């Protein structure tokens, strides 16, 4: 008599990213923009759980500030696409039930989709003992999106190429952030297209994060605040002028610096401490912003969660 194997389950957690520096150069021939960016993973997470199952399925659960209808469903979901890719490359048979628990704002400039893709890749590898190396996973991640390799890596890292070439950076700080998502997302391609319209003479080479690297190594929030930079902020603010008032308000409430996260529309505020972050949250909520989140960084990249 042979033993009947029950379903197996693996859960992986992946973090949101922000860009402390986002230098954008003129569009390349393939339409992507060359980047010189500094990513940081912060403590807002999506969890992806895979369970072996005869019939594939996808289920979504979202934090109360995320409309479940805003998350792509079925084959349009990037976790689903990540599994299609890794299954094709490994040739491993089988199907899974995918459960995604989302706390990272959708279409918010925080790499929520990339986090799900990274988590799905790692979960597949562990569920099937596929034996993929870190380099294998990073290469698959780069095929799925520019930010997906960083979602695997986490911490604080420099990103070059179109953002997919990542290397860890020395970061001595534990930084406190306040994040304000918008109810309506912004399309990343649309923000890049608007960058092209606003800056037809953009240099081919993206701006380097010169002073930011020493600020990170110093661990001093005021120094870091002075060096934060985002070349997509101008196009994002042009598309969503109300974000300018939000940034001013957050800074007025005591944030050291506010800026658009990646391609937006989420705005992030660097604070001097957890207490400072609470004060900014209270101020912004008093000004009518219902959803104001506190996060800290850097945190780990995609990692397995212990079984309950």
What residue ranges bind ligand C5P (CB under 6 A)? 32-33, 35, 145-147, 162-163, 188-189, 192
Minimum gap (Å) between residue 230 Cβ and ligand C5P: 13
Minimum gap (Å) between residue 103 Cβ and ligand C5P: 20
Q: Is 147 a catalytic residue?
A: yes
Tell me: is residue 161 an annotated ligand-binding position: no
**192 vs 199 by CB, closer to ligand C5P:** 192
Tokens of residue 225, six digits: 């605040």
Minimum gap (Å) between residue 51 Cβ and ligand C5P: 27
Tell me: is residue 112 an annotated ligand-binding position: yes
Q: Which of 17, 125, 171, 272 is catalytic?
A: 17
Tell me: is residue 155 an annotated ligand-binding position: no
Q: Which of 36, 46, 125, 147 is catalytic?
A: 147
Would the CA dihedral through 125, 131, 134, 139 be positive or negative? negative
| Degrees, nearest 5: CA angle 163-169-170 | 165
**56 vs 189 by CB, closer to ligand C5P:** 189
Minimum gap (Å) between residue 218 Cβ and ligand C5P: 28
Q: Is 238 a catalytic residue?
A: no
**53 vs 234 by CB, closer to ligand C5P:** 234
**117 vs 246 by CB, closer to ligand C5P:** 117
Tell me: is residue 157 an annotated ligand-binding position: no
Tell me: is residue 105 an annotated ligand-binding position: yes
Please identify every residue annotated as catalytic.
17, 147
């Amino acid at each position: 008599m042979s033993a009947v194997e029950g379903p197996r389950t693996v859960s992986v957690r992946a973090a949101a990213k922000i860009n402390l520096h986002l230098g954008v150069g003129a569009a390349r021939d393939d339409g992507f923009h060359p980047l010189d960016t500094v990513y940081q993973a912060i403590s807002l997470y999506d969890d992806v759980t895979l369970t072996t199952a005869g019939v594939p399925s996808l289920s979504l659960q979202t934090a109360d500030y995320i409309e479940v209808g805003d998350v792509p469903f079925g084959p349009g979901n990037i976790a689903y696409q990540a599994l299609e890719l890794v299954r094709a490359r490994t040739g491993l048979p089988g199907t899974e039930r995918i459960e995604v628990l989302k706390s990272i704002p959708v279409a918010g400039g925080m790499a929520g989709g990339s986090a799900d893709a990274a988590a799905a890749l790692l979960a597949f590898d562990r569920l099937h003992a596929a034996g993929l190396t870190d380099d294998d996973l990073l290469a698959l991640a780069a095929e799925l999106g520019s930010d997906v390799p960083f979602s695997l890596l986490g911490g604080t890292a420099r990103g070059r190429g179109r953002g997919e070439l990542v290397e860890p950076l020395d970061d001595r700080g534990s930084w406190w952030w306040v994040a304000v998502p918008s109810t309506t997302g912004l399309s990343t391609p649309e923000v890049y297209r608007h960058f092209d319209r606003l800056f037809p003479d953009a240099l081919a080479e993206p701006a380097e994060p010169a002073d930011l690297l020493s600020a990170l190594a110093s661990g001093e929030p005021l120094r870091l605040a002075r060096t934060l930079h985002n070349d997509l902020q101008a196009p994002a603010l042009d598309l969503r002028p109300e974000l300018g008032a939000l940034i001013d308000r957050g800074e007025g409430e005591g944030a050291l610096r506010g800026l658009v996260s990646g391609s937006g529309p989420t705005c992030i505020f660097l604070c001097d401490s957890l207490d400072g972050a609470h004060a900014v949250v209270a101020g912004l909520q008093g000004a009518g912003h219902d959803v104001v989140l506190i996060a800290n960084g850097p945190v780990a990249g995609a990692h397995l969660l212990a079984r309950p």
